[in-house]
Amino acid sequence: MISIKKSPVSSTEDLKYDTDIVIAGGGLSGLSAALTAAESGLKAIVLEKLNFLGGAGIFPEGSLGIGTRYQKKNEIQTTTAEVFAKVMEFHHWRCNASVIRTLLNESGKTIDWLTDYGVEIKGIRTMFPPEKSLKVWHIFKGSGARVVKIMSENIKKKGGLILTNTPVKKLLINDDGVVIGIVAKNDSGKTVTVTAKAAIMATGGFVSNKEMLKKYVPDVSTPGMAKLMYRGPAVDGRTGDGINLALSVNAALASMGTLAGNSPYLDNEPAIRQFRGPDHMKQMRCALSQPFLWVNRHGDRFYNESFGSVFSDVYNAMTSNGGLMWSIFDGHMKQYMIENGPLTPFNDIVVPGQKMTALDKGIRKGIESGFAFKADTIEALGNKIHIEPTKLRETIEKVNRYADQKNDPDFSRKPDHLVKFDTQNGPYFALKGLRAFFLTLGGIKINTNMQALDSKDKIIPGLHVTGQDIGGLYDSTYDLLAEGSASSFALSSGRIAVRSIVQNNIARKNNVV
């Protein structure tokens, strides 16, 4: 069992620890780092700002993995080279290629490692048509919440220390500029000082720091855009602390303007209720993304509705269209969803074949709250949603012609999704969609050991960065083709950071460095 030295140091009983690795943040990357440390016989202390563990990490439905035992068993032959090529093409190589390759190389081993601890894989899902899918998104039984629970239990079992309600405030640096620990403040007002051989920043990015968002992210402040909603935990500790602490020792930033958008979401907050809330909200969110007809605020189509599940593309298309959309369907289409389920999935939350029996309730509640609209005629619906009524009819009739031809010459919607509207008999429905985001993707520039770098690519000794505190892994947008990359990169970066700390220490002991 590992013992961590603790000694009260002053009359106010401030706390002082000496350990091998100190980790700021008890989410996915921080916990995976702590568990890896404990496995390696290192003393690790996790300091978590909030009174619960997990951060955003309680939400992921699943993670990217390549070459896992699960894939082998199911004869999925996706290779790292294949995924890497797609990712680099997606980002036009405007990203940290060697770090991405390192994280992809580790991804399968990370999934297998979790399953060794008892995490169960429910299946591999995709938001893409099968022929386009890379088949890498491993869905966790019990979602990320179970992964967090299993990792934290095992850290404690192996003697690691986790302190909640203890936000990290400062880095300790010696005269040579080496990071030698951190200072935190716990909820009893005590100063917690931890000296360590290495520190890891795992604080989850800056999704809840309004000033940083305004400063760094153009999507948040572009004039004339409809509201951008936040989709994340109700209590969120992700305020950019790890990034700012790394900046305090001259670390460099990368891709700070990039968000992981997730759209469309109904104009109803908190948006997280549509992701993890009552059935009628989840089904309404699913109805919003169905491929019947999407129009922008002028009543024009703007996207290939067949790909309504590809949430990052939808976010980007909406950004190019004022940030707002309307999803239109008629009474027959609504009935189809109730009796048969959706045509396209909403993540792993509402999937084809799952009857949407709470839809009527959702529409009723949506009409009360102002995110759903119902009318007996197309023209009346147009008036309700401030779209020129003749324009709305014109767009619907055009789509009906495409349905007759089974060909969409404008946006190439799949023929199966070209369903004809009943233009004579109502009712007609419109759901109002806005953009939402759930992660920041900018952060600290790192090398393949997850070590923080300065603007000249020089290592900042003693400082590692993981998960959403890392920058440079995405260019201008989240890459959904590599499904589950965010949580995968978080989990793997924690493991790699600790392995590199272990190797550095061995090298130092042997006077190699």
Binding site for ligand FAD (CB under 6 A): 24-30, 47-50, 55-57, 59-63, 144, 167-168, 202-204, 231-232, 237-238, 241, 275, 438-439, 467-468, 484-488, 490
Neighbours of 347 (CB within 10 A): 21
Roughly how many angstroms between the first and final C-alpha of the chain, as a whole number?
Answer: 29
Q: How far is the CB of 430 from ligand FAD (least distance, A)?
A: 26
Nearest residue to ligand FAD, using CB?
27
- Of the pair 295, 490, the CB lying nearest ligand FAD is at 490
- Please answer whether residues 293 and 327 qualify as being in contact, where contact means their C-beta atoms are separated by less than 8 angstroms: yes
Residue 28 CB, nearest approach to ligand FAD (Å): 4
Given the complex with ligand FAD, which of 25 and 261 has the nearer CB atom?
Answer: 25
> Residue 326: which of 436, 434, 456, 472 has the closest Cα?
434
Nearer to ligand FAD, 167 or 341 (CB): 167
In the chain, the largest separation of any two C-alpha atoms, in whole Å, equals: 83
Residues 6+ apart with CB under 8 A from 156: 162
Closest Cα to residue 20, out of 460, 462, 446, 448?
A: 462
**What are the E-state strand segments in 318-361?**
324-330
Q: Which is nearer to ligand FAD, 244 or 449 (CB)?
A: 244
- For residue 111, the minimal CB distance to ligand FAD (Å) is 12
At 211, the amino acid letter reads E
Whether a cis peptide bond, with omega within 30° of 0, leads into 167 is no
Residue 208 Cβ vs ligand FAD, minimum distance, rounded to whole Å: 9
CB 44 within 8 A of CB 19: yes
CB 189 → ligand FAD: shortest distance, Å?
16
Residue closer to ligand FAD (CB basis): 111 or 381: 111
Give the residue with the Cβ less far from ligand FAD, 239 or 290: 239
Least spacing, CB of residue 271 vs ligand FAD, in Å: 9
* Residue 26 C-beta: closest distance to ligand FAD, Å: 5
CB nearer ligand FAD, residue 16 or residue 297: 16
CA–CA distances in Å: residue 184 to residues 22, 238, 257: 11, 16, 28
d(CA 27, CA 42): 19
